[in-house]
């Protein structure tokens, strides 16, 4: 299969929507990372996501919809979930909530759970695609399973070329980290994955602390696989400097071949994180290095999600 790169113009949107309607796969930009989209009603199409990504079948998918009203056709949102939706949608928040009977979503999306992960993206290209396609789009991040999430169209092409029908090019994703995932259950909210919206901001709206992700009804906790978000080269965190065989990614005053944010700005660091890991991966080879060292990132705000991704990226590989 020849993977087409589509421009985000009327022709591009029309072709992308046609591909989705006919059961194909289209990668598209969201404000967090690129998603690999399929028609969420079409099980054959959803199955193609798993095979294109070589993703283990037990990992459920996020459904992307145009607005809160549409989301409520598919899930039950209680008062707290509604509060979060009203405050953070459109935006990088995913809510996992009980699926509505008769939702007609493909069973492959839930991987056997009785909940659905749903979100309303803010990126104008994602929104235009949802509007023209006029239906729910199931989409995981558009990378081969276990590797770094893509934050531009060429990352997607490098990872999935020939395995998907098209990539809708919307430039660089400005958040750069996947969405924060909240499980809303029995009038309580649990954090399943830290991400583009810091926990603190969510807790401020809720008026209480999020419960941790050890919730018994969610045996499938996101990013369970140990080598999630991994670059090819080995990664060492909290490095003050690099050894000879290491490629250095700096932060703040700690310098390196690349610097996530020389101002020490965590929002800027988050938006650069995955593309710098992609770049570092390529550059380690050319520079004859074997590892990547990365400077300490403070554990507050978006730093929590950044450290979570780095921890997974540096954990032992299968």
Residue 33 touching ligand TXA (CB under 6 A): yes
For residue 294, what are the contacts with CB-CB under 8 A and spacing of at least 6? 235, 236, 237, 238, 239, 248, 249, 251, 310
Q: Which of 8, 17, 40, 60 binds ligand TXA (CB under 6 A)?
A: 60
The one segment of 12-20, 115-123, 249-257, 296-304 that binds ligand TXA by CB under 6 A = 115-123
Q: How are beta strands 166-169 and 258-259 bridged, if at all?
A: unpaired
Residue 279 touching ligand TXA (CB under 6 A): no
Strand partners, 35: 28, 141
Q: Which does 261 bind (CB under 5 to 8 A by kind): ligand TXA, Mg ion, none?
A: none
List contacts with Mg ion (CB under 5 A). 141
Residue 96 touching ligand TXA (CB under 6 A): yes
Residue 30 or 259 having the CB closest to ligand TXA: 30
SS (H, E, C) 57-106: CCCCCEEECCCHHHHHHHECCCHHHHHHHHHHCCCCEEEEEEECCCCCCC
The one segment of 31-39, 230-238, 269-277, 305-313 that binds ligand TXA by CB under 6 A = 31-39
Residue nearest to Mg ion (CB): 141
Residue 29 touching ligand TXA (CB under 6 A): no
Give the Cα separation of 238 and 277 in Å (integer). 15
Residue 99 or 254 having the CB closest to ligand TXA: 99
Q: Which of 42, 115, 169, 314 binds ligand TXA (CB under 6 A)?
A: 115
For residue 35, what are the contacts with CB-CB under 8 A and spacing of at least 6? 27, 28, 29, 62, 64, 121, 126, 137, 139, 140, 141, 142
What's the min distance (Å) between Cβ of 179 and ligand TXA?
Answer: 4
Q: Which does 68 bind (CB under 5 to 8 A by kind): Mg ion, ligand TXA, none?
A: none
23: left (phi over 0), alpha (psi -120 to 50) or beta: left
Residue 121 or 303 having the CB closest to ligand TXA: 121
Q: How many residues contact ligand TXA, by CB under 6 A?
A: 27
Q: Which of 12, 90, 140, 176 binds ligand TXA (CB under 6 A)?
A: 140
> Which two structure tokens, joined as six digits, stand for 179?
């969405």
Query: DSSP letter at 260?
Result: S
Enumerate residues 165-224 that contact ligand TXA by CB under 6 A: 178-179, 181, 192, 218, 220, 222-223
Residue 141 or 185 having the CB closest to Mg ion: 141
> Which two structure tokens, joined as six digits, stand for 205?
């709206």
Alpha carbons within 13 A on the beta-carbon side of 40: 25
Q: Which of 3, 43, 59, 103 binds ligand TXA (CB under 6 A)?
A: 59
Residue 49 or 242 having the CB closest to Mg ion: 49
> Which two structure tokens, joined as six digits, stand for 42?
């079409």
What's the min distance (Å) between Cβ of 239 and ligand TXA?
Answer: 27
Phi and psi angles of residue 34, each rounded to the nearest 5 degrees, phi first: -75, 140
> Which two structure tokens, joined as six digits, stand for 237?
């965190």
**Helical spans, DSSP H, in the chain:** 10-21, 43-53, 68-74, 79-88, 107-110, 124-133, 153-160, 199-206, 266-286, 303-314
Give the Cα separation of 136 and 134 in Å (integer). 7
What's the min distance (Å) between Cβ of 126 and ligand TXA?
Answer: 8
Residue 275 or 284 having the CB closest to ligand TXA: 275
Footprint of ligand TXA on this chain (CB under 6 A)?
30, 32-33, 35, 59-62, 92, 94, 96, 110, 113, 115-117, 139-141, 178-179, 181, 192, 218, 220, 222-223
């Amino acid at each position: 299969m020849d993977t087409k790169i589509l421009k985000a113009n009327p022709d591009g949107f029309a072709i992308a929507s046609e591909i989705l309607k006919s059961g194909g796969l289209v990668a598209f930009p969201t404000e967090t990372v690129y998603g690999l989209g399929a028609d969420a009603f079409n099980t054959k199409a959803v199955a193609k996501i798993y095979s294109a990504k070589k993703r283990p079948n037990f990992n459920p998918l996020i459904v992307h919809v145009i607005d809160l009203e549409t989301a409520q056709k598919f899930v039950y949102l209680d008062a707290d979930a509604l509060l979060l939706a009203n405050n953070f949608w459109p935006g990088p928040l995913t809510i996992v909530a009980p699926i509505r009977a008769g939702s007609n979503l493909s069973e492959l999306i839930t991987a056997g759970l009785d909940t659905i992960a749903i979100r309303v993206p803010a990126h104008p290209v994602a929104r235009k695609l949802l509007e023209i396609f006029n239906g729910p789009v199931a989409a995981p991040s558009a990378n081969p399973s276990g590797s770094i999430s893509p934050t531009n169209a060429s990352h997607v092409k490098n990872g999935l070329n020939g395995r998907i029908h098209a990539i809708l090019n919307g430039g660089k994703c400005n958040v750069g980290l996947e969405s924060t995932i909240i499980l809303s259950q029995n009038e309580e909210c649990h954090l399943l994955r830290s991400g583009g919206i810091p926990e603190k901001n969510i807790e401020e709206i809720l008026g209480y602390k999020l419960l941790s992700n050890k919730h018994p009804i969610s045996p499938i906790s996101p990013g369970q696989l140990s080598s999630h978000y991994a670059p090819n080269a080995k990664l060492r965190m909290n490095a003050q400097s690099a050894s000879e065989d290491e490629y250095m990614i700096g932060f703040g005053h700690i310098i390196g071949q690349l610097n996530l944010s020389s101002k020490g700005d965590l929002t800027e660091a988050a938006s650069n994180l995955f593309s710098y890991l992609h770049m570092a991966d390529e550059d380690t080879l050319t520079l004859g290095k074997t590892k990547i060292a990365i400077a300490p990132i403070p554990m507050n705000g978006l730093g929590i999600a950044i450290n979570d991704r780095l921890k997974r990226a540096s954990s032992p590989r299968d």
